[in-house]
Amino acid sequence: YKNPHYAPGRSTMVHLFEWKWDDIAAECERWLGPRGFGGIQISPPNENLIIWQHNRPWWERYQPMSYQLSTRSGNAQQFANMVRRCNNVGVRIYVDAIINHMTGTWNENVGTGGNTANFGQFSYPAVPYGRNDFNWPECYIQPHDYGCCPERVRNCQLSGLKDLNQGTEHVRRMIVDFMNGLIDMGVAGFRIDAAKHMWPGDLRVIYDRLHNLNTAHGFPSGARPYIYQEVIDLGGEAVSRDEYTPLAAVTEFKFGMELSRAFLGGNQLRWLANWGPQWNLLASADSLVFIDNHDNQRGHGAGGNILTYKQARPYKAAIAFMLAHPYGEPQLMSSFGFQNTEAGPPMDNRGDLISPSINSDNTCGNGWICEHRWRQIYQMVAFRNVAGSTTINDWWDNGSSQIAFCRGGQAFIAFNNDSWDLNQTLQTCLPAGRYCDVISGFKSGNSCTGKTVTVGNDGRAHISVGANDYDMMLAIHRGDQS
């Protein structure tokens, strides 16, 4: 369950938060496939409660009404079409699976597929679920439960969301059928929402009943779905990430927290020389990593001071470090713009989602940020693909916040987060030649629109990243020789 089964030569996934299935299919064909992205985490595809009381907040999608594939992102046919078109261009789909709970209790009770529930009776006829399928008696997770009481974290309600009992055969069967339906349609894996709130033993039973990935969609025979479990573990709690790594991969929230701190100047970059498990991060193969996610970019979940698109310069640098470094399975966030942390994605007055528009410079409009279309980010996706399975060599630092390293003989990157210029002749480990910096520009014909780096026969080159440059890094690789 720890292999994403990317198509050959690909390595990075992007969370297209709240995108419509038709738009994702188009994005696979026009952008993600050609640019070498590995996969996409999609928003929950199953029916959710409509919450007009909060003007259709983004979080209504975390309140399941049924497992029917009917949401603001599209219906079952559009879903199947998206998966097929994305797999055809080598881009995998990972589903955000909300299997810990159903809805909370609201005055409104109509779902995006038109189904209803009776909250008082714990009745969700469109699954169907009834009272016996939920943990009983009702209790609510309190903040201090995280420190003391694993059984309350697993058996009580998270934020008042009706807590399914995955120990029962009926609940297991409903969840497994839902997930297997998606696997048969060609998805490559799942994010397991709120995994901390489910018993590892129950999850193991569910995972082991999942089908192999669908060979008709290009997966090798016998391939198991990639599973990454959302467990927020910053230390000091009764439930630990180590209970989940024997099952499948786990989201590593310390990763974005520490890199945000470093690139905001709270830690010198030289300390990143031993980035990885020595920082008390999970083992690399167990770890799904990101700078921000849909929760912590807006103050939900855990961790303050997380870099987001709103602090673009250090954010791009943190992303570049994540993609240049071999540790973990990286995930990019692709956001819609927001001021209000509860606000949902761009919509018209009927509540239908508005598609992103695509500008002539490849960026997005209509309220969508599309970080995955920022040059400094998508060109680092290509950098990671070129670096492949190489490890780090020729680490250099100035004893402060100027660092540089090579990835085998494939790629080289330098960062300057000091307040003075970086001007050094450094070992790049690349063959002699002229290379285009993929951060300040791109290769155009035989020249570079940004900085050009000339590597000598000894592999060394003069590297310059000014303290006031637009970006704080410079990156070159063998795919972009000029």
* Closest of 176, 169, 166 to residue 200, by C-alpha: 166
Pseudo-torsion of CA 67, 69, 70, 76, nearest 10°?
-160
CB of 193 to ligand AAO, least distance (A): 5
Q: How far is the CB of 247 from ligand AAO (least distance, A)?
A: 16
The Cα-based distances of 281 to 24, 61, 388, 447 in angstroms read: 32, 30, 21, 41
Pull the structure tokens for residue 362.
């490849």
163, 230, 243, 371: the active-site residue: 230
Alpha helices in 242-311 (DSSP H): 253-261
**Is residue 435 a contact point for ligand AAO (CB under 6 A)?**
no
Positions 378 through 397 that interact with ligand AAO (CB under 6 A): none
Q: In angstroms, what is the minimal distance from the CB of 302 to ligand AAO?
A: 4
Q: Which one-letter DSSP state was computed for residue 329?
A: E
The DSSP symbol for 130 reads -
| Region 160-179 residues binding ligand AAO, contact defined as CB under 6 A | 160-161
Q: How far is the CB of 319 from ligand AAO (least distance, A)?
A: 20
**Choice from 300, 313, 434, 460 touching ligand AAO (CB under 6 A):** 300
Write the DSSP string, 189-250. Answer: EEEETTGGGS-HHHHHHHHHTSPPP-GGGTPPTTPPPEEEE-----SSSSS-GGGTTTTSEE
Q: What is the DSSP letter of 32?
A: I
Does 295 sit near ligand AAO (CB under 6 A)?
A: yes
As measured in angstroms, the least distance from the Cβ of 301 to ligand AAO is 4
Q: Which two tokens stand for residue 189?
A: 């894996």
Judged by CB under 6 A, the residue of 74, 186, 303, 328 near ligand AAO is 303
Q: How far is the CB of 14 from ligand AAO (least distance, A)?
A: 17
Q: What gap in Å lies between CA 467 and CA 288, rounded to an integer?
A: 32
Which residues are within 8 A (CB) of 114 and not within 5 positions of it... i.e. 6 or more apart?
A: 70
Please compute, for residue 356, the number of CA atoms within 13 A of its CA located in the half-sphere on the CB side. 28
Is-catalytic flag, 151? no
Residues 41, 63, 78, 308: which binds ligand AAO (CB under 6 A)? 63
By DSSP bridging, strand 411-416 and strand 402-407 are antiparallel
Q: Which of residues 189 and 326 has its CB atom nearest to ligand AAO in the complex?
A: 189
Give yes or no for a contact between 323 and 475, defined as CB atoms under 8 angstroms apart: no
Stretch that binds ligand AAO, among 298-306, 392-400, 415-423, 427-435 (CB under 6 A): 298-306
- Phi and psi at residue 301, to the nearest 5°: 65, -135
Length of the chain (residues)? 482
Residue 196 interacting with ligand AAO (CB under 6 A): yes
- Identity of the residue numbered 394: D
Residue numbers 111-150 binding ligand AAO by CB under 6 A: 143, 146
Candidate ranges 18-26, 71-79, 80-88, 301-309; the one touching ligand AAO (CB under 6 A): 301-309
The neighbouring-strand residues paired with 423 are 464
CB of 241 to ligand AAO, least distance (A): 11
Q: Residue 194 interacts with ligand AAO (CB under 6 A)?
A: yes
Site string for ligand AAO, 304-343 (x = CB under 6 A): ----------------------------------------
Using the rule CB under 6 A, which residue among 29, 237, 394, 397 binds ligand AAO? 237
Q: Fill in the amino acid letter for 44.
A: P
Would you count residue 441 as binding ligand AAO (CB under 6 A)?
Answer: no
Tokens of 158: 């998270």
237 counts as catalytic: no
- Site for ligand AAO contains 99 (CB under 6 A): no
Among 59, 94, 327, 374, binds ligand AAO (CB under 6 A): 59
Kindly state the number of chain residues that form the binding site for ligand AAO, as judged by CB under 6 A: 24
CB of 104 to ligand AAO, least distance (A): 2
Tell me 340's DSSP state.
Answer: S
Q: Which residue is nearest to ligand AAO (CB)?
A: 104
Task: Extract the tokens encoding 6.
Answer: 């990317």
Given 193, 292, 371, 471, the catalytic residue: 193
Q: Is 115 left (phi over 0), alpha (psi -120 to 50) or beta?
A: beta
| CA–CA gap between residue 311 and residue 295 (Å, rounded) | 17
Whole-angstrom Cα distance, residue 433 to residue 88? 36
230 binds ligand AAO (CB under 6 A): yes
Question: CB of residue 148 vs ligand AAO: minimum separation in angstroms?
Answer: 13
Closer residue to ligand AAO in complex, CB, 237/394: 237
Q: Specify the residue, 192 or 403, whose C-beta has the smaller distance to ligand AAO.
A: 192
Binding span for ligand AAO by CB under 6 A among 191-199, 312-320, 328-336, 376-384: 191-199
Binding site for ligand AAO (CB under 6 A): 59-60, 62-63, 98, 104, 143, 146, 158-161, 193-194, 196, 230, 232, 234, 237, 295, 300-303
Residues labelled catalytic: 193, 230
